[in-house]
């Protein structure tokens, strides 16, 4: 476990929960508006279906889509970091599936309904209400011709729904595991409440509190420094750098960057550091050097950077 990366991941998940709070509030407002305008009552004049195709509904759905996709994307980013640390495999897979489902739902399904299906179906349904039997027969025939289109719409809904449900279940499992890992009951409860739509707001508030508390716990366990230079190092024209590092525990150096004049020379050779003092010798190839000091930047496997000073 690498604390700095872990804190970064938890902070990203906390931000995702915050956006989830915003979305839940907007969702409640949308529900109130839809209920107030009678969206769930399809009258004989098809007023409900007409309202579905109004620009006001589309604007609300568009705002919701942006917020949901941003929230799920941040969740995916946070779990991706934790997966690299071997902490969150289910969360990474689940958030990816939920992200795909959100894109299908808001970018494919609803625009398809709004701009294509409703404009075709609504006039036909209105004609079917007519008393003229010939008009009814023609309208019924036209509606039958749209059945493959309607079927494809429901197939998209089915695919998005399956991806969304499986993805959400995996995220819930992962967040519950994180609650056990950090001993945070709010994470456990918040993860479970996500399954119940009417309490989403409470779920995201609990997740926000849980991730914030987990960050503090991980941060309090951070060591002051993982590795530091002992004495001064040396650098030769042949590009041989020699220096000593003291490491508080075993860790790897994954990248070395040597600054020479205006150039940066990189070496991606992985170097193992043992606990205690380590004598390091590495080769950058022939260099054009002037007498003076040079800076070598080391990147540890946890992302921490250590500066080493070399003399020529």
Cβ(233)–Cβ(242) under 8 Å?
yes
202 and 64 in one domain?
yes
72: Cβ–Cβ under 8 A, 6 or more apart, which residues?
Answer: 16, 95, 98, 99, 102
Q: How far apart are CA 81 and CA 8, in angstroms?
A: 8
User: Which CATH number does the domain housing residue 239 bear?
Assistant: 2.60.40.2950
Predicted pLDDT of residue 198: 82
Predicted pLDDT of residue 200: 87
Q: How many CB atoms lie within 10 A of CB 54?
A: 13
Predicted pLDDT of residue 302: 79
Which segments of 102-223 are extended strands (E)? none
96 and 58 in one domain?
yes
To the question of pTM greater than 0.85 for the whole model, the response is: no
Q: Which H or E element spans position 253? A: strand 251-260
Q: How far apart are CA 5 and CA 11, in angstroms?
A: 10
300 and 242 in one domain?
yes
- Domain boundary among the residues 196, 220, 244 is at 220
Q: How far apart are CA 145 and CA 262, in angstroms?
A: 69
Q: Which parts of the chain register pLDDT below 70?
A: 1-3, 34, 36-58, 109-146, 221-225
181 and 302 in one domain?
no
Domain count, the chain: 2
Predicted pLDDT of residue 226: 73
**What digits encode the pLDDT tens for the residues 223-256?**
556 788 877 889 888 888 899 988 888 888 888 9
Q: What is the CA radius of gyration of the chain?
A: 29
239 and 179 in one domain?
no
20 and 125 in one domain?
yes
196: Cβ–Cβ under 8 A, 6 or more apart, which residues?
Answer: 203
- Domain boundary among the residues 220, 237, 262 is at 220
- Domain boundary among the residues 179, 199, 220 is at 220
Cβ(253)–Cβ(270) under 8 Å?
yes
Predicted pLDDT of residue 45: 47
Predicted pLDDT of residue 130: 54
Q: How far apart are CA 145 and CA 138, in angstroms?
A: 11
290 and 163 in one domain?
no
Cβ(311)–Cβ(293) under 8 Å?
yes
275 and 157 in one domain?
no
Q: Domain range for residue 283?
A: 227-311
């Amino acid at each position: 476990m690498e604390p700095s990366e872990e804190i970064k991941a938890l902070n990203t998940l906390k931000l995702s929960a915050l956006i989830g709070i915003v979305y839940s509030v907007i969702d409640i407002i949308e529900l109130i508006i839809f209920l107030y305008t009678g969206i769930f009552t399809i009258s004989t004049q098809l007023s409900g279906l007409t309202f579905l195709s109004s620009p006001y509904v589309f604007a609300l759905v568009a705002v919701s889509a942006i917020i949901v996709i941003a929230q799920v994307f941040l969740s995916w980013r946070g779990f991706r970091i934790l997966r690299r640390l071997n902490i969150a495999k289910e969360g990474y897979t689940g958030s990816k599936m939920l992200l795909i489902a959100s894109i299908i739902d808001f970018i494919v399904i609803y625009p398809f309904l709004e701009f294509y299906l409703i404009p075709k179906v609504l006039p036909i349904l209105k004609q079917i209400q007519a008393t003229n039997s010939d008009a009814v027969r023609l309208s019924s025939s036209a509606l039958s011709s749209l059945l493959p289109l309607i079927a494809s719409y429901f197939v998209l809904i089915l695919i998005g729904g399956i991806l969304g449900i499986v993805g959400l279940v995996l995220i819930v499992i992962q967040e519950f595991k994180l609650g056990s890992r950090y001993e945070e009951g709010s994470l456990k409860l918040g993860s479970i409440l996500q399954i119940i739509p009417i309490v989403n707001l409470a779920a995201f508030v609990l997740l926000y509190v849980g991730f914030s508390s987990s960050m503090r716990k991980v941060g309090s366990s951070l060591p002051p420094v993982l590795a530091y230079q002992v004495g001064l190092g040396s650098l030769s024209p042949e590009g041989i750098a020699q220096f000593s590092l003291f490491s508080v525990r075993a860790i790897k150096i994954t990248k070395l960057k040597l600054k020479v004049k205006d150039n940066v020379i990189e070496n991606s050779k992985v170097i193992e550091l043992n606990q205690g003092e380590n004598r390091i010798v590495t080769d950058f190839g022939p260099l054009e050097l002037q007498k003076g000091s040079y800076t070598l930047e080391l990147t540890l496997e946890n992302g921490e950077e250590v500066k080493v000073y070399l003399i020529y």
